[in-house]
Amino acid sequence: MAPTGTASTALPAEAQALEKYFVLDKARLNEIVGGFRREFEDGLKNFGRDTAMIPSYCLNVPNGTEVGTFLALDLGGTNLRVCEVKLTGNHDFSVKQQKYKVSEALKHGDAKDLFDYIAESVDAFMTEVGTENGEDEAVHLGFTFSFPVEQTALDKGKLLTWTKGFACKNAIGHDVVKLLQDSLDAKHIKVKCSALVNDTVGTLLSRSYQSGPALIGAIFGTGTNGAYIDKTETIEKLGKEAIAESVKGGPDAGEYMVINTEWGAIDNGRHVLPVSPFDNKLDRESINPRKQAFEKMVSGMYLGEIVRNMLLYLIDFSVLFDGHSSEAMNTHYGLDTALVSEIEAAKSDDQVVNVLTKELGITEEFIKPADVQIVKWACRMVTMRAASLSACALAAVVLHTGHAQSKGGDETVDIGMDGSVAEFLPFFEERMRAALRLILGDEGEKRISMGLAKDGSGVGAALCALQAKKAEDANVHPVSKKMDALVP
Ligand code: BGC
């Protein structure tokens, strides 16, 4: 049973007063979902919105019979991953992979250096691990690039903004496939980047390949975002002509398209989110202030920092640790979200004390039993809110696509998830489900199935590269060149 978040009289008044920012009742959840739906609809109608609702040009989802071997690149979290993915056609796959560290200098330097490094890593992988492709033909590569990119084709798209601690120069507004291909070509590496994929799109494809058609692919990790399947005609900003072109485009074309919502940027204007002073402080001190408002309340990069800000506030009122802090507690991002998970998973208060002394450097004599309860409460507040808000994003998609009500049968709505928060944060799914029950009702929540999609970034990139290869072999262009002209 997940611990719940009701006010406790044992808490100091300074802490109790903070619960209003974190405990969300049914009315508040519905208000948030309403705001999210409005942003989805606005993003589908207009370019240039924060919630970018990006057409992925991925026009169908796999059914598990797909076969082929592709290279996949995955950039967007802590590491760069190069993999060779073999789709074996029976909902199964195998992966050979290597991880390469992306230094802080590369994250903040010139984009050319980053893309040269990526190309070198692909070269190193092909030399050290090898690929199954023949000597002469260029190897097809799917590039999972987990940042907001306004795509104009399966293999084309301009970076809108960096997120998650990346801030390379000369990248925003540039086509990231071209940046990569230029670096590969300059080094004479025989690889063709044929598909650009967001990790959420990859997760949706991978989940569908492995366990049947899914509606949503969601990442709750370092960052957060979701992709879902919508009718192409709802992407009004593309205009009727372009929509018609994309529908009749390639061998996989149809009336549906996967849309990358970029929900991490929902409510940057702060109209509906329960923004606390700790969120404002985190945002002000971040490298991307006023951006990724939702992501900063939900994702692994930030949850520890919100908890740290809350605990410091209570230390400053001398109602925690007798007013004593520590070097780690005083350091920006000094409390990692992994520690929040450890505290939430602790079976005894001694384990919490252990984290506080060993990992956070708090002197043991300043930790009273009541302090342990305050720390556990703060972690619970922040992680419960993250789970409830995550449920709001999922529910907004379910409602937007008209899947909230049963169509008469016992159909389920499937959601594939990936990321460290989804995988390691205790009680995350349970708490999301509790919020989904409040928003969609018991029946609505029961119809939702969710599960981790194994290796969405690698398998999804391979599946997209396969779509691109099929289109190339059939000599069709799945989407019109006119699309380029449409994107500002
Ligand atoms: C990016 C998304 C990505 C998500 C999860 C966000 O910061 O904007 O494109 O899907 O992180 O990795």
Ligand 1 neighbour 337 (Cβ under 6 A): no
8 A C-beta contact, residue 217 and residue 204 = yes
Mutation pick for ligand 1 pocket among 164, 176, 292, 418 (CB with most ligand atoms within 8 Å): 164
Name every residue whose Cβ is closer than 8 Å to that of residue 469 and which is 6 or more positions away in sequence.
Answer: 68, 140, 194
Nearest CA to ligand 1 atom 3: 146
Predicted confidence at residue 214, as pLDDT, reads 94
Q: Which CATH class is domain 54-212+454-486?
A: alpha beta
CA–CA–CA angle 30, 34, 40 (5° rounding): 140
Predicted confidence at residue 405, as pLDDT, reads 78
8 A C-beta contact, residue 313 and residue 278 = yes
481 versus 30: the higher-pLDDT residue is 30
DSSP 54-110: EE--------S--EEEEEEEEESSSEEEEEEEEEESSS-EEEEEEEEE--HHHHHSB
Distance 358 CA to ligand 1 centre (A): 32
Query: For residue range 414-471, what is the model confidence (pLDDT) as tens digits?
Result: 999 999 999 999 999 999 999 999 999 999 999 999 999 978 889 999 999 998 888 7
For 15-66, where are the E strands, in sequence order? 54-55
8 A C-beta contact, residue 118 and residue 180 = yes
pLDDT at 136 over 90: no
Domain 1-46+215-230+246-452: give its CATH code: 3.40.367.20
- CA–CA separation, 226 and 152 (whole Å): 19
Ligand 1 neighbour 69 (Cβ under 6 A): no
Mutation pick for ligand 1 pocket among 150, 198, 205 (CB with most ligand atoms within 8 Å): 198
Nearest CA to ligand 1 atom 2: 147
480 confidence band (pLDDT: 50, 70, 90): very low
Domain ranges of the chain: 1-46+215-230+246-452, 54-212+454-486
Find where tokens 């998830």 sit. Answer: 417
Tell me the β-bridge partners of 100.
80
- CA–CA separation, 158 and 487 (whole Å): 10
Name every residue whose Cβ is closer than 8 Å to that of residue 442 and which is 6 or more positions away in sequence.
Answer: none
pLDDT at 223 over 70: yes
Q: What's the count of helices (H) and strands (E) in the chain, helices before strands? A: 17, 13
Helix (H), strand (E), coil (C) string for 126-187 = HHHCCCCCCCCCCEEEEEEECCCEEEEECCEEEECCCCCCCCCECCECCEHHHHHHHHHHHC
The tokens for 392 are 């709001």
222 confidence band (pLDDT: 50, 70, 90): very high
Helix (H, G, I), strand (E, B) or coil at 217: strand
Distance of CA 205 to the CA centre of its chain: 15
Distance of CA 388 to the CA centre of its chain: 16
Comparing 62-71, 109-118, 359-368, 461-470, the range with the smallest average pLDDT is 461-470
8 A C-beta contact, residue 103 and residue 80 = no
Query: For residue range 38-71, what is the model confidence (pLDDT) as tens digits?
Result: 999 999 999 999 999 999 988 878 999 999 999 9
Ligand 1 neighbour 276 (Cβ under 6 A): no
446 burial (CB, 10 Å; 0-12 / 13-18 / 19+) is: middle
Query: For residue range 142-190, what is the model confidence (pLDDT) as tens digits?
Result: 999 999 999 988 899 999 999 999 999 999 999 999 999 999 999 999 9
Helix (H), strand (E), coil (C) string for 369-426 = HHHHHHHHHHHHHHHHHHHHHHHHHHHHHHHHCCCCCCCCCCCCEEEEEECHHHHHCC
Predicted confidence at residue 444, as pLDDT, reads 94
List active site positions. 164, 199
- φ, ψ for residue 69, nearest 5 deg: -120, 130
Ligand 1 neighbour 457 (Cβ under 6 A): no
Q: Could you give the percent of the chain with pLDDT greater than 70?
A: 92
Helix (H, G, I), strand (E, B) or coil at 256: strand
- The mean pLDDT value for 370-391 works out to 98
CA–CA–CA angle 425, 80, 414 (5° rounding): 45
Predicted confidence at residue 481, as pLDDT, reads 44
- Please give the mean pLDDT across all residues of the chain: 91
pLDDT at 134 over 70: no
Nearest CA to ligand 1 atom 11: 223
Predicted confidence at residue 404, as pLDDT, reads 83
Distance 149 CA to ligand 1 centre (A): 10
Ligand 1 neighbour 181 (Cβ under 6 A): no
- The mean pLDDT value for 254-266 works out to 92
243 confidence band (pLDDT: 50, 70, 90): confident
Ligand 1 neighbour 198 (Cβ under 6 A): yes
Find where tokens 């509606």 sit. Answer: 215
Predicted confidence at residue 135, as pLDDT, reads 60
**pTM confidence score:** 0.93
